[in-house]
Every structure is written in structure tokens, then in C-alpha cells.
Copies of this chain bind each other. A is one copy, B any other.
Amino acid sequence: MRVLLTGAGGFLGSGLAERLARGMPSLSSLTLTDRQSSFSGKEIAGAEVKPGDLTDTVFLDELFEPGFDLVFHLASLPGGQAEGEPERGRRINLATPLELAWRTAARRPGARFVFASSIAVYGEIAAEIVSESTPAAPGLSYGAHKLMTEIFLSDLARRRDLSAVSLRFPALVARPPTESGHGSAFMSQMFHKIRAGEEFASPVPASARCWWMSRSAAIDALLHAAFLPADAPTMLLAPALSATMAEMAEAIETVTGPKSSIRWGEDARLTRIFGSMPQIDVSLAHSLGFAGDGDLETLARAALSGA
């Protein structure tokens, strides 16, 4: 089996790359791609690293020469950045996934295509509890492009050109402290600050409700999606947890010991975008065998371990 992973140098992608390389049966091949600058230079045994620009047709021609049976498409331009650079956003977050899906299907009809979508498809949510059937109304181009890609993939799956699964992920924790470009960076920051015993100045109030998922649970979800039956739903909410900042902080302190102090803020914009989430209904994912972090303490432990 031939496997392709895009965004392989990123936070989620690098973790998935290691897990894939570790668990690969010998008859498989694993190709990792990302921009040259995203690869740390760390070798992954058994994987072929092909750095390049996915918006470059010549590179794609070469990359797709043999075709793939399984593609994980994780590469994207973060929402804030895409909003500021709309042309790049359109190319990376819309044209690229459509093109990759099309090429995957053309080379190997019926191949599995796992797409890292985002809860950004929902935009601001009025519903009290969110599931796959909650209407999507993206508030940023990032979410609009993810939603368009989901629709495209569902249509290819209907035609049996591809066997596609889109997983809607929340912000993952805990991103490295150096990665402060995401609007949701404060969510990861809380883990690092509490562990270090430093004061954490939260931009949002203690009551702000966010959706949480550890990187390791996200990797589990992607791997599980890769081997769902072909007739499974083509779009799923990743099994995230819904909890307030205060609840998450308490769970982190259960793991690290309570040695930090938190000042709660009132940033209206961040609270609106990341801290006003409702409850989440991930029963569909659970019914299909997706596990998720289970509870906040397990999530905190996974997030702090860096796994």
C-alpha cells in the first residue's frame, strides 16, 4: 500500500508521520511532503521525504507519478494568515485539496482520502449542541474553503471515484510555545504555563467554553479514518471535548500539581471565536469506533506529554 501525507512537517503531520512510519507493514511505502522549510531535517526511517510546493503543477505531476492508495491531506494555511493573504489562501486551502483529491482518484479510483477539515466550517454557532447536521456557516475564508472541499470529497465518494473521509478538528493542544501565530494559541499556552508554574494571562474568561483535543487523539482519529468501511459517512466531527477554560485548567493542575496562577481576561474577539463553543455531540464518531481523549485529565496528560 502506498501512503501520502501532506503537511508532514507540521504539528499534527509530524506526529502522524512518526506513528505511520512506526506502524507500517513492510509492503507499504510512505511519502511525506511539506514545504522544504517545514522539515526539521529529522529523518523518519522507512519514509520518503519529498519537499515541495503543492500548488506547483510540475511538483504534483512528479509526486503523483505512481499514485497512492491512501492520502492524508493535512497541509493548510492557518485561518488568520489566509484571511490576510487571500490569493495564497485560495491556492493552498481550496485549489490544492481539490486538485490532490482529483489526482488521487484519477490514479487509483477508490483510494482512501482522509482530509483534515475544521470546526471553522461552522462559523459562529447558535445551536446549543453541535453535531454533523448542524448547519455550516463559515465566518472566515479558511472555513469556507474547508467546507467546499468537504462537499467536493463527498461528491467524489458518491461517484465512487474516491473513498473520502473529512474529519472536522478543533484547535489541537498543546502546540509548541513557539507557535504563537494561531488565534487559538492561548489554549496551548495554558498547558505550558501551568506546567512551568508561571502565571498564565488568559485572554478569555474562566467561563469561556472551548473544544479540546490532544494531538495524539487527533492522530488516532486520522488513522482510524483511514480504515473505516467504504460506506461510512464522508464527513465526521472529530471526537473533541467541550469544556470551559477553568475546567481545563483544573484538569491540567491535576496532572502537574497546582503551582500556577491564572489571570482571566476579557478579549471579546477571541472569546467569540474560540471561547463561545456549545456542547458537542460526537456520538456518530463514537459509534464508528473513534475514541478521542475520553476525559479532560487524559487529554491533559496526552497534551503535556507532547505525544
Which residue on chain B has the smallest CB distance to residue A106? Answer: B87
Known: A144-B151, A148-B152, A154-B144. A159 touches B86 (CB 8 A): yes
Q: With A86-B161, A90-B102 as known contacts, state yes or no: A144 contacts B133, CB within 8 Å.
A: no
CB of A63 to closest CB in B, whole Å:
20
The chain B residue sitting closest to A83, CB to CB, is B159
Contact with B along A137-165 (1 / 0, CB 8 A): 01101001101100110110011010000
* A66 at interface, CB cutoff 8 A: no
- Judge whether A135 is part of the interface by a CB distance below 8 angstroms: yes
Most chain-B CB neighbours within 10 Å: which of A102, A141, A145, A155? A155
What is the distance, in angstroms, from A233's C-beta to the closest C-beta of chain B? 12
Q: Which chain B positions have C-beta within 8 A of A139?
A: 158
Residues on the B chain within 8 Å of A98, using CB = 94
Q: Which residue of B lies closest to A141 (CB)?
A: B155
Docked Cα-Cα span, A145 to B152, in Å, equals 8
B135 A159 Cβ-Cβ under 8 A: no
Chain B's nearest CB lies how many Å from the CB of A146? 10
Complex-state Cα separation, A147 to B149, whole angstroms:
11
Minimum CB distance partner of A139 in chain B:
B158
Taking CB as reference atom, which chain B residue is nearest A143? B155
Contact with B along A68-112 (1 / 0, CB 8 A): 000000000000000000100010001000100010000000000
**A133-B154 Cα distance, complex, nearest whole Å:** 20
Bound together, the chains give a CA A86 to CA B148 distance in angstroms of 17
Most central of A86, A94, A139 by chain B CB within 10 Å: A86
A152 to chain B minimum Cβ distance, whole angstroms, is: 6
Given contacts A90-B102, A102-B90, contact A144 B155 (CB under 8 A): yes
A138 to B135, CA, bound (A): 15
A133 to B102, CA, bound (A): 30
A145 contact set on B, CB distance < 8 A: 155
A135 vs B152: C-alpha distance when bound (angstroms):
16
Residue of B nearest to A121 (CB): B151
Whether A151 touches B138, Cβ cut-off 8 Å, given contacts A86-B159, A102-B90, is: yes
B135 near A144: Cβ-Cβ < 8 Å? no
Instruction: Give chain A interface residues in 181-224, CB to chain B under 8 Å.
Output: none
Chain B residues within 8 Å of A161, by CB = 86
In the complex, are the beta carbons of B138 and A155 less than 8 A apart?
A: yes
CB neighbours of A138 from chain B (8 A): 151, 155
A151 contact set on B, CB distance < 8 A = 138, 144, 147-148, 151
Question: Can you report 9 A-B residue pairs in the complex whose CB atoms are below 8 A from each other?
Answer: A90-B102, A94-B98, A133-B135, A135-B135, A138-B151, A141-B159, A144-B155, A148-B148, A151-B151
What 7 new A-B contacts, CB under 8 Å, besides A133-B135, A138-B151, A148-B151?
Answer: A94-B98, A94-B152, A144-B151, A144-B152, A144-B154, A144-B155, A145-B155
Closest 10 CB pairs of A and B: A144-B155, A148-B148, A141-B155, A144-B151, A148-B151, A147-B151, A148-B152, A135-B135, A144-B152, A138-B155
